[in-house]
Amino acid sequence: MHELKVYDQRMALSKEQIQHLAKLARIEITEEEIQQLASQLSDILAHFEALEEVNTDDVIPTAHPAPLRNIMRSDEIGASLTREEVLELAPETENGLIRVKAVLE
Amino acid sequence: MTELWQLTAHAANKGLRGREFSSIELTKSVLERLHSVEPAVNAFITITEKIALKQAKEADKKFSSGTATALTGIPIGIKDLIITKGTRTTAGSQILGEFIPPYNSHVNEKLEQAGTVMIGKTNLDEFAMGSSTEHSAFGATSNPWDINRIPGGSSGGSAAAVSAGACIIALGSDTGGSIRQPAALCGVVGLDPTYGRVSRFGVIAFGSSLDQVGPIGRDVEDVATILDCIGGHDPRDSTSNPEPMPDLRHYLDREIKGLRIGVPCEYFIEGLEDGVRSQVEEALLEFERLGCEVDRTLSLPMTKHALAVYYLIAPSEASSNLARYDGIKYGLRNESSDEIWETMERTRAQGFGEEVKRRIMLGTYALSAGYYDKYYLKAQQVRTLIIQEFNDAFTKYDLIITPTTPDVAFPMKQKVNDPYAMYLNDIYTLPSAVAGLPALSMPCGISEGLPVGLQIIGNFGQEGPILQAAHAYERATNGGNLLASL
């Protein structure tokens, strides 16, 4: 386990923040995982603070390194998977549809 | 006497063409080797023996009918991140543990057209997130050089299998070093091509602005041959490079006199093991003897920021890409709840391993309101600066040479519970990945009985000069076809 340095404590993640992130990410987590993630993510993020040193005024962000823009294909109907092939993969189906758990109470 | 499984792909091709042996004989030899080493190495998630024998039979027909290619009949391992129609593809995860793809990846289509023989699907860190192949839901892979050590990752199964002779060539994928780092630690050759060189259609996404499929082989010529087969434009991947593929074979067997090589001082700092340093220094002397201009004055000060940039961008993209695994349409579904959101949360809790969860959480944080500018946007801006720094360097140099990793293969379990220590293993492979540049790792000696990797980075779209230099170095040092004794 890493000891958090003084400057790290300022940005250490709280239990509530971890719970909120887990909710956003739709992952159920245990109390033990909350503790561990709070400590590990805080440690990792503390190392990333060094980015603050870099002057990025007027620097255009890079989303990807390919020298390409907006590659489009023509809107034409082509071959695709069949309904049967897709349903074959689903955990549960009914009447040719994918069955899910209750969405509304 | 040389056993068939010990051959490189080009040597095997010669034998197959000359009818010295058949593809069936070659495949059986490789399968026999695989079965003898697999209990110790665990390089494969799925062994596809039936498919292999069927494809070998077809390959033999191609040799009879004169339609064989350079890769016809060659046994290959395919990283289990790459979709293979009708053959289970797991991404090393429980969440796709039983997933049988209804379609094929572009790269596997290309391989099938060339007539390769699929031996199996190789092990990896779950969703390619890791540097040791310990984060696999199907058990860790061992390094064939020392089974108590890790093979690197995430393409650890592919690199270990090639190094052990359990297949002759393999495909891996590289997001931040996942081909080069295991290639280095297992003593084989691995190439991360230019971003966009190889179509990702049918490759399970991790970090989409970084992911690239590439070859692993036991020598430089094999790696060139595989890239020649799988590379090129594919309209089904919108980031696929529309430029025609360079004629890679043209670069082999060429002199490298006068080639300008930059060696950045930031890669030779504290943390670099002495044994690795001395082997790399020795390799640089060899390049000088071959007539290259090796310049040690290069400085790339942004190097130290590549780790933060990568570990913000890749998890952010992963948190978005992995949102699709929700237990609804395909893959695992946890059935313990009657409510849809809880079903998703429990499915993801059950189906994802520790490291994947950690990265999804990290990425979710970096993209969340209030932190986007501080982390994600900042990382994208520093990414621009890293690219600019490489661009400047490539006005003066043809290639940049560095160590691939700071140390040789480390013992299993040493770093698995310390995520940041694990991330540090990627420090030399991350900068070129962030910039989308092609980079190769090849063996350059042994330290403490384990292989050391040399990294050769080229300019955007310039795999040719990398292969040229790597091939010349391999020839000069009588290298290539290094097999782990196991």
User: Per-residue confidence at A7, pLDDT binned at 50, 70, 90?
Assistant: very low
From B311, B348, B384, residue closest to A27, measured CB to CB: B348
Q: CA B68, B70, B76, B81 torsion: positive or negative?
A: negative
- Supply the pTM of this predicted model: 0.96
Packing angle of the helix pair B306-321, B354-367 (nearest 10 deg): 100
The pLDDT > 90 percentage for chain B reads 97
B239 to chain A, closest Cα gap in Å: 7
Region B416-439: mean pLDDT is 95
Rounded Cα distance, B91 and B356, in Å: 11
Pairwise CA distance, residues B89 & B247, whole Å: 32
Q: What are the chain A neighbours of B375 within 8 Å (beta carbons)?
A: 48
Cα(B180)–Cα(B405) distance, integer angstroms: 9
Chain B residues within 8 A of A24 when measuring between CB atoms: 364, 368
Q: Indicate whether B1 pLDDT > 80.
A: no
B window 291-310, beta carbon within 8 A of A: 302, 304-305, 307-309
ipTM of the complex: 0.93
Question: Terminal CA-to-CA distance of chain A, rounded, Å?
Answer: 43
Residue whose token pair is 């689903």: A90
Write the residue in A24, A67, A85 that is nearest to B364 by C-beta. A24
Tokens of A46: 């503390």
Judge: B102–A67 Cβ closer than 8 Å, yes or no: no
Q: Helix (H, G, I), strand (E, B), or coil: what is residue B345? A: helix
CA angle B365, B319, A63 (to 5 degrees): 90
Q: How confident is the model at residue A5 (pLDDT cuts 50, 70, 90)?
A: very low
Contact residues on chain B for A34, CB-CB shorter than 8 A:
none
Name which of B337, B362, B389 to mutate to probe chain A: the one with the most chain A Cβ atoms within 10 A of its Cβ. Answer: B362
Chain B: nearest CA to A49, how far in angstroms?
Answer: 9
Is the pLDDT at A49 greater than 60? The verdict is yes
Question: Least CB-CB distance to A40: which of B99, B375, B419?
Answer: B419
| CB contact (8 A) between residue A33 and residue B209 | no
Which residues make beta-bridge pairs with A102? B339
Q: Which residues of B touch A48 (CB under 8 A)?
A: 308, 311-312, 375
Distance from C-alpha of B21 to C-alpha of B30, rounded to nearest angstrom: 13
Residue-averaged pLDDT of chain B? 97
Using a CB–CB cutoff of 8 Å, tell me whether B371 touches chain A: no
Q: What is the DSSP letter of B171?
A: E
Place of tokens 């670069």: B251
| Closest Cα in chain B to A80 | B103
- Restricting to A residues 41-70, those with a Cβ less than 8 Å away from any Cβ of B are 41, 43-45, 47-48, 50-52, 54, 56, 59-68
- Mean pLDDT over B162-172 rounds to 98
Q: Do the Cβ atoms of B203 and B83 come closer than 8 Å?
A: yes
Nearest to B305 among A37, A54, A63 (CB): A54
Kindly report, residue by residue over B298-331, the tens digit of the pLDDT: 999 999 999 999 999 999 999 999 999 999 999 9
pLDDT at A101: 87
Token duo for residue B323: 């949102």
The amino acid sitting at A69 is R
Active site residue B154: yes
The yes-or-no answer on residue B50 being catalytic is: no
Assess whether pLDDT exceeds 50 at residue A6.
Answer: no
pLDDT digits (tens, 9 = 90+) for B121-163: 999 999 999 999 999 999 999 999 999 999 999 999 999 999 9
Q: Which of residues 214-233 of B touch A (CB under 8 A)?
A: none
With bands split at pLDDT 50, 70 and 90, how would you rate the model's confidence at A70?
Answer: confident
Nearest residue, CB atoms, A101 vs list B307, B319, B338: B338
* Cβ(B203)–Cβ(B124) below 8 Å: no
Q: Kindly list the residues from chain B whose CB atom is less than 8 angstroms away from the CB atom of residue A86.
A: 102, 329
* Separation between Cα atoms, residue B283 and residue B479, nearest integer Å: 12
Domains of chain A: 1-55 (1.10.20.60)
Structure token pair of residue B357? 């969860």
Q: Is B381's Cβ below 8 Å from some Cβ in A?
A: yes
* A29-A35-A37-A39 Cα dihedral, nearest 10 degrees: 170
The shortest C-alpha distance from A15 to chain B (Å) reads 13
Query: What does the pLDDT read at residue A8?
Result: 43
| Contact (Cβ atoms closer than 8 angstroms) between residue B305 and residue A54 | yes
Q: Is the pLDDT of residue A105 over 80?
A: no
Measured between CA atoms, the residue of chain B closest to residue A98 is B329
Q: Give me the pLDDT at residue B466, please.
A: 98
For residue range B100-122, what is the model confidence (pLDDT) as tens digits?
999 999 999 999 999 999 999 99
DSSP label at residue B92:
T
CB distance B420–A47 less than 8 Å? yes
Average pLDDT over residues B76-98: 98
- What pLDDT shows up at residue B457? 98
Q: In the structure, what pLDDT confidence band is assigned to residue A68 with cuts at 50, 70 and 90?
A: confident
3-state helix, strand, coil in chain B (%, to 5): 45, 15, 40
Using DSSP's 3-state secondary structure scheme, residue B321 falls into helix
pLDDT of residue A103: 84
Per-residue pLDDT, A67: 87
With beta carbons less than 8 A apart as the criterion, state whether B358 and B419 touch: yes
Tell me whether A27 touches chain B (CB under 8 Å): yes
Interchain CB distance below 8 Å, B345 and A27: yes
- pLDDT class for A11, splitting at 50, 70, 90? low
User: Which alpha helices (DSSP H) does B237-353 contain, by range?
Assistant: 274-289, 306-321, 340-351
Burial class (CB in 10 A: 0-12, 13-18, 19+), B433: buried
- Domains of chain B in start order, with CATH, are 4-254 (3.90.1300.10)
Give tens-digit pLDDT for B440-486.
999 999 999 999 999 999 999 999 999 999 999 999 999 999 999 88
Q: Measured between alpha carbons, how far apart are the two ends of chain B, in Å?
A: 17
- 8 Å CB contact between B201 and B451: no
The three-point CA angle B336-B338-B344 to 5° equals: 70
How many Cβ atoms sit within 10 Å of the Cβ of residue A46? 19
Give the chain B residue nearest A54 (alpha carbons): B382
d(C-alpha B134, C-alpha B182), whole Å: 12
The predicted pLDDT at position B180 comes to: 98
